[in-house]
Structure 1
Amino acid sequence: MEKLSFDSFTKKIYIKTSMEKMYWCWGTSEGICSWFLRKADYLTSEGKLRDSKEFIKAGDTYIWEWHNWDGQEKGQVIQANGKNYIEISFAEVSKVAISLEDHGKAVLLSLRQYEIPTDEESKLNIHYGCSNGWSFWMANLKAYLEHGILLNETEFDLTKIPLAGFEFVNM
């Protein structure tokens, strides 16, 4: 067994769907907004906005906006093979890798966030915060793909609650 540490974490989940649908959920603005984000803009390396149905490519940059959070996440697409792997910069100082494995009736989704600094603030906000967040969002993706429902909060405004991101499980 690998040793657990604060500089990375891995989350995995089996989801009954096709590889194509799963990659669409991660690799297009339309897909990622169907279960995860309020808005996702991907810009090509030339600065052109990608169409929402167009797959992202290495060298793209992104701007993400969530429901119930006023901030933006900005980063770069490091790798995107159009099939089963996406890697992005995330939280300004770390990276997230999404890998997909076909298991017949289901896809094994593995998310690894790594290169997380190990200072106390990063342990709390990135390791703890993102680890909890990704656990919820991966469960939300499973609910969406397998049952057609979303678990994230879109009806109640949580933006005025200072610790909402740490307290609400469906942020």
Structure 2
Amino acid sequence: MEKLEWNSFTKKIYIHTTVEKLYDLWATEHGISSWFLKKATYKNAEGEIRNPLEHIEKGDTYIWQWHNWDGKEEGKVLEANGKNYIEITFETSKVSVLLEKVNDITIITLTQFDIPTDDESKLRVHFGCSNGWTFWLANLKAFIEHGILLNETEIDLRENELAGYQFVNM
């Protein structure tokens, strides 16, 4: 990406941990549910539910559920190399996560791309997801480096239809 455009965005963050630990936190049900989701279910290409500690693989499908949102996201794992790269379908687009060792820290590069450029997608996917991923990457850093979660899991915000646009810790 050479310039800012509506069809994609990239978010980066440095985290003081290993690539291996971060990959486990992105690529397993147990890991991703510890800092990001209320519940995750992964199924392999044969439709069998993966063990919570087992890494996802290309061809898997997923169902994600969040705290404070009754909906769910269903998608497909497009790439998962078992080391430092994952790519999934997400919303009406795709998301990739690249983990790179830089000295004694790891940089996460998250890119959401193939975003439709109609007005609704500009607001809901580009703007909404860009803000969301900014928070979730900061939440992951707080979880890894300080042992705390910043997202709201105790106060029910679902009755406020604008909660996802107003609360920074959804």
State if a TM-score over 0.5 links the two structures.
yes
- Name the Cα RMSD after superposition: 0.8
Matches within 5 A, 1:49-68: 49-68=49-68
> Residues 106-139 of structure 1, C-alpha deviation per residue, up to 9 Å, x if partnerless?
1000000000000000000000000000000000
> Residues 40-90 of structure 1, C-alpha deviation per residue, up to 9 Å, x if partnerless?
000001000000000000000000000000000000000000000000000
Instruction: Tell me how far apart the structure 2 counterparts of residues 154 and 40 of structure 1 sit (CA, whole Å).
Output: 16
Shift of residue 103, structure 1, vs aligned partner = 1.2
> Residues 110-169 of structure 1, C-alpha deviation per residue, up to 9 Å, x if partnerless?
000000000000000000000000000000000000000000001100011110000000
Shift of residue 104, structure 1, vs aligned partner = 2.7
Question: Which residue in the other structure is 1:97 paired with?
Answer: 96
Matches within 5 A, 1:19-168: 19-91=19-91, 93-168=92-167
Instruction: Tell me how far apart the structure 2 counterparts of residues 141 and 43 of structure 1 sit (CA, whole Å).
Output: 24
Q: Secondary structure at the match of 2:45?
A: coil
Q: Secondary structure at the match of 1:95?
A: strand
Q: Write the letter of the residue equivalent to 1:9.
A: F
Task: Return the TM-score normalized by structure 2.
Answer: 0.99
Q: Write the letter of the residue equivalent to 2:62.
A: Y
Question: Which residue in the other structure is 1:11 paired with?
Answer: 11
Task: Return the TM-score normalized by structure 1.
Answer: 0.98
Q: Secondary structure at the match of 2:165?
A: helix
Q: Secondary structure at the match of 2:158?
A: coil
Instruction: Tell me how far apart the structure 2 counterparts of residues 106 and 36 of structure 1 sit (CA, whole Å).
Output: 21
Q: Write the letter of the residue equivalent to 2:78.
A: I
Q: Write the letter of the residue equivalent to 1:83.
A: K
Q: Write the letter of the residue equivalent to 2:138.
A: A
Calculate percent identity across the aligned residue pairs.
62
Q: Write the letter of the residue equivalent to 1:52.
A: P
Q: Write the letter of the residue equivalent to 2:80.
A: A
Structure 2 gaps of 5+ residues are none
